[in-house]
Amino acid sequence: MIMAVAPVKVYGPPLSTAVSRVLACLIEKDVEYQLLPVNMSKGEHKSPDYLKIQPFGQVPAFQDESITLFESRAICRYVCEKHANKGNRGLYSTNPLVKASIEQWLEAEGQSYNPPSSVLVFQLAFAPMMNIKQDEGLIKQNEEKLGKVLDVYDKRLESSRFLAGDEFTLADLSHLPNTHYLVAVGGKGEMFTSRKNVGRWWDEISNRDSWKKVVEMQEKR
Ligand SMILES: N[C@@H](CCC(=O)N[C@@H](CS)C(=O)NCC(=O)O)C(=O)O
């Protein structure tokens, strides 16, 4: 008898960068999911019930069978490990050497790329939507920081098609959410296109079907 597998649950709006990272991963891995709304403008992410699954009161939260998880990058790693043989198998290799390179660039995203880029995403894309005054000093400071990170990426991408090697991996995917807002909403496309290899890389990763589907979901809301 074939048992029906319940889809995994993702809590949060696709407009959130962290939620969209998980969605892109699930689509790449061809894993069935159910998206559950969390109305952040009504503070649902701080409600006692929600805090039981995401104790920091942030999105996304994730459920699969008896496990609940938070932290988008940890969720993506879990999805890739559990479904190693499903969908895009190269997304997160099982070969330790290849995996080490993916992990290295995933860490670079979380530790070096995300801090300045997430400040810029908030200042340039979300603050105007929320009628919050932009902080020009913070924008300038973080643009400089991100520029330095992108110089390192440009050098790496001179000799490598993708960050971790010849294949698109979770390391590249993890950069999609913040970069999308900077390019498509924040008017910072030039930071990427002015760096030849970064521009070529961005063009390639942002045109993946999985990411285009996520952007469509964002535009519907
Ligand atoms: N490191 C976390 C970050 C999650 C996060 O910052 N989520 C934002 C939306 S993108 C959020 O819930 N913000 C509301 C809040 O912090 O109160 C992850 O990757 O899952």
Mapping DSSP to helix (H, G, I), strand (E, B) and coil, where does residue 36 land?
strand
Cβ of residue 54 lying under 6 Å from some atom of ligand 1: no
| Statement to judge: residues 25 and 128 lie in one domain | no
Q: Which pLDDT tens digit goes with each residue over 37-81?
A: 999 999 999 999 999 999 999 999 999 999 999 999 999 999 999
Residue 57's domain comprises: 8-87
Q: Nearest-CA neighbor of 71 among 63, 55, 60?
A: 60
Atom 11 of ligand 1 has which residue's CA nearest to it?
Answer: 58
Looking at 87, 111, 145, the residue that finishes a domain is 87
Q: CA dihedral in degrees (154, 208, 63, 9; nearest 10)? A: 150
Give the chain's domain count.
2
| Statement to judge: residues 139 and 183 lie in one domain | yes
Q: Nearest-CA neighbor of 125 among 116, 134, 137?
A: 134
Q: Nearest-CA neighbor of 144 among 111, 117, 162?
A: 117
Relative to beta strand 8-11, strand 33-36 is parallel
Looking at 70, 87, 104, the residue that finishes a domain is 87
Q: Nearest-CA neighbor of 25 among 40, 36, 14?
A: 14
| Statement to judge: residues 102 and 74 lie in one domain | no
C-alpha 184/C-alpha 188 separation (Å) is 8
Cβ of residue 109 lying under 6 Å from some atom of ligand 1: no
In testing the pocket of ligand 1, which one of 17, 50, 59, 118 has its CB within 8 Å of the most ligand atoms? Answer: 59
**4 CA to centre of ligand 1 in angstroms:** 32
Atom 10 of ligand 1 has which residue's CA nearest to it?
Answer: 16
Predicted confidence band of residue 5 (pLDDT cuts 50, 70, 90): confident
Q: Is residue 206 part of a domain?
A: yes
| Statement to judge: residues 176 and 101 lie in one domain | yes
Q: Is residue 1 part of a domain?
A: no
Cβ of residue 71 lying under 6 Å from some atom of ligand 1: yes
Tokens 């006692």 belong to 48
- pLDDT score at 3: 66
Atom 20 of ligand 1 has which residue's CA nearest to it?
Answer: 71
Atom 13 of ligand 1 has which residue's CA nearest to it?
Answer: 58
Q: Which pLDDT tens digit goes with each residue over 94-152?
A: 999 999 999 999 999 999 999 999 999 999 999 999 999 999 999 999 999 999 999 99
Q: Is residue 2 part of a domain?
A: no
| Statement to judge: residues 107 and 52 lie in one domain | no
| Statement to judge: residues 189 and 112 lie in one domain | yes
Relative to beta strand 61-64, strand 33-36 is unpaired
